[in-house]
């Protein structure tokens, strides 16, 4: 008799878990109250990349003359058209997921799911009709929403969430972004490229203040922002934001959270902007889920703790994705892999060896301009863990392909263990870095040395040659770098 599996949330973790559960013979029901694809497809990864592609193309058009291409007439971004294309792409992706689920025999139940007992989920549809679903295994994949800051709550007109930014039908003249993390930096480059005057306010001492992002990438990114006339205030917080007839008056103060022992004094304590976008965190969507009905204890503001098998403290109940919180890695591709692990373990017999979720080698992809790709340890992380390391860096400008496409900004940095020569981390900032990081991910996953990468033939002329260049330098045999 096959197991009944219910999954709440159809994001990149939930729908992948559903596909794997069905492939393993489960009777799978996937509950989703909004659109298939979750935050990643509808409010994050995909829509922001659609906007970035338009911004990239617009910049190329402005520079067409240097490539020998004459464009007559005005070149202007059309935000309404960008949003219309975004909707077409998203709808196509949703239909694709729906068709895939249907072909694998997964039943999709639209509505809001609430756990009523250890074997029952109740779903309330938009029409108020309720459906009871019994289950043998439950996977929770409900995700998060943008964090609302009480000091300046979203009005969705002048004080915006990251969701609001993705539905703007015009380009603001000036935008202040609160938060210099991944989301804030990506939007800063997109809107700056489209002609908006952008200011970024970050509480820490650097942009992208994440342990997994090497400081070298942050420094290079700051230089690129300055080139694009993006104003950056690090070591700074927003204390208040007053909406006015023309926009927002934003009050600044020195950050009490900064890790900078000698922060620079503020040049101003007030700035004006047409809109302010708040990109400083996510809130768990665990409230109202009925977790108390099964005795599932939460952590912090509502994160669900799990073990390495994605099991919660309640038997036969699993959790995956962003609802696990910052203790795990809140990325779409991580959620998908967690979904595979959870579904496999849910379908196994008690005597079968369990699948394990490993977080040691997870690539990061940041779609700034230029892009950033990271995997493994940063130099600071490696030192903190007691490794004796050597590092090597090579600029993208040494590559013929980078010169040919006129995208020469950026560098590759490799961190290797001095004793063994093994690659511990690779951090790329440059053209197509989010694609190029795949080779480094495989290398670290398989325990390869810098010498092995250096002796791997890379096609010429390609951007992938950057891995061979930085590896050769790491072993003391630099080529062009």
In the chain, where the domains are located: 4-146+283-347, 159-280, 370-474
**Residues 159-280, CATH architecture:** 3-Layer(bba) Sandwich (3.50)
The pLDDT of residue 264 is 86
Residues of the chain with pLDDT under 50: none
The pLDDT of residue 116 is 97
Question: Is the N-terminal amide bond of 370 cis, ω within 30° of 0?
Answer: yes
Nearest CA to 235 among 208, 202, 268, 213? 202
Cα gap 296→300, rounded to integer Å: 13
Q: Do domains 4-146+283-347 and 159-280 have the same CATH topology?
A: yes
The pLDDT of residue 1 is 60
Opening angle at CA 48, ends 440 and 208, nearest 5: 55
Q: Identify the CATH number of the domain defined by range 4-146+283-347.
A: 3.50.50.60
Nearest CA to 6 among 84, 109, 95? 109
Helix axes 14-23, 79-103, angle to 10 degrees: 20
The pLDDT of residue 49 is 97
Q: List, in order, residues 6 or more apart from 463 with CB less than 8 Å away.
A: 396, 399, 401, 402, 430, 431, 432, 436
Helix axes 14-23, 332-347, angle to 10 degrees: 30
- Determine how β-strand 197-201 pairs with β-strand 174-178: parallel
Catalytic sites, residue numbers: 460
pLDDT in tens, 293-320: 999 999 999 999 999 999 999 999 999 9
**How many residues are listed for the chain in this entry?**
481
Residue 414 CB neighbours (<10 A): 28
The pLDDT of residue 457 is 98
pLDDT in tens, 226-268: 999 999 999 999 999 999 999 999 999 999 999 999 998 898 9
State which H helix or E strand residue 121 sits in: strand 120-124
The arrangement of strands across the sheet holding 270-273 comes to: 236-243, 248-254, 270-273
The pLDDT of residue 2 is 80
Q: Is 204 helix (H, G, I), strand (E, B) or coil?
A: coil
Cα gap 481→474, rounded to integer Å: 11
Q: What is the domain class of 370-474 according to CATH?
A: alpha beta
**HSE (side-chain half, CA atoms, 13 Å) at 291:** 26
Cα gap 140→307, rounded to integer Å: 14
Q: What is the pTM of this model?
A: 0.95
């Amino acid at each position: 008799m096959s197991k009944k599996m219910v999954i709440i949330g159809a994001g990149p973790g939930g729908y992948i878990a559903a596909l794997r559960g069905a492939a393993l013979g489960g009777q799978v029901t996937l509950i989703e109250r909004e659109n298939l694809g979750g935050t990643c497809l509808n409010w994050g990864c995909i829509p922001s990349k659609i906007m970035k592609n338009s911004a990239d193309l617009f910049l190329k058009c402005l520079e067409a003359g240097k490539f020998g291409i004459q464009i007559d007439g005005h070149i202007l971004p059309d935000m309404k058209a960008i949003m219309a294309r975004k909707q077409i792409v998203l709808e196509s992706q949703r239909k694709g997921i729906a068709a895939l689920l249907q072909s694998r025999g997964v039943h999709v139940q639209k509505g809001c799911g609430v756990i009523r007992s250890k074997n029952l989920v109740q779903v309330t549809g938009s029409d108020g009709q309720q459906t009871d679903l019994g289950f043998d295994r439950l996977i929770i994949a409900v995700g998060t929403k943008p964090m609302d800051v009480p000091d300046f709550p979203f009005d969705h007109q002048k004080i915006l969430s990251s969701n609001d930014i993705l539905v703007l039908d015009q380009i603001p003249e000036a935008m202040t972004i609160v938060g210099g993390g991944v989301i804030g930096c990506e939007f800063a480059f997109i809107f700056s490229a489209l002609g908006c005057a952008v200011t970024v306010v970050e509480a820490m001492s650097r942009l992208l203040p994440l342990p997994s992002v090497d400081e070298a990438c942050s420094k290079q990114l700051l230089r690129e922002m300055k080139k694009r006339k993006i104003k950056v205030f690090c070591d700074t917080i927003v204390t208040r934001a007053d909406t006015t007839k023309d926009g927002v008056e934003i009050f600044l103060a020195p950050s009490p959270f900064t890790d900078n022992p000698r922060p620079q004094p503020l040049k101003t304590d007030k700035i004006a902007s047409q809109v302010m976008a708040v990109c400083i965190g996510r809130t768990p969507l665990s409230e109202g889920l009925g977790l108390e009905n099964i005795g599932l204890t939460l952590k912090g503001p509502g994160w669900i703790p799990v073990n390495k098998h994605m099991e919660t403290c309640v038997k036969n109940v699993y959790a995956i994705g962003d609802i696990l919180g910052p203790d795990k890695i809140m990325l779409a591709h991580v959620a998908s892999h967690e979904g595979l692990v959870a579904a496999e373990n849910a379908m196994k017999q008690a005597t079968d060896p369990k699948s394990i979720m490993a977080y040691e080698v997870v690539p990061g992809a940041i779609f700034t301009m230029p892009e950033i790709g990271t995997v493994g340890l940063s130099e600071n992380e490696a030192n903190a863990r007691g490794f004796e390391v050597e590092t090597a860096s090579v600029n993208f400008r040494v590559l013929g392909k980078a010169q040919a496409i006129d995208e020469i900004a950026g560098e590759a940095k490799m961190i290797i263990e001095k004793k063994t020569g093994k690659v511990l981390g690779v951090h790329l900032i440059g053209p197509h870095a989010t694609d190029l990081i795949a080779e480094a991910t495989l290398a670290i996953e398989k325990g390869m040395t810098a010498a092995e990468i250096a002796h791997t033939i890379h096609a010429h002329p390609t951007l992938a040659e950057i891995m061979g260049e930085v590896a050769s330098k790491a072993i003391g045999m630099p080529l062009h770098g």
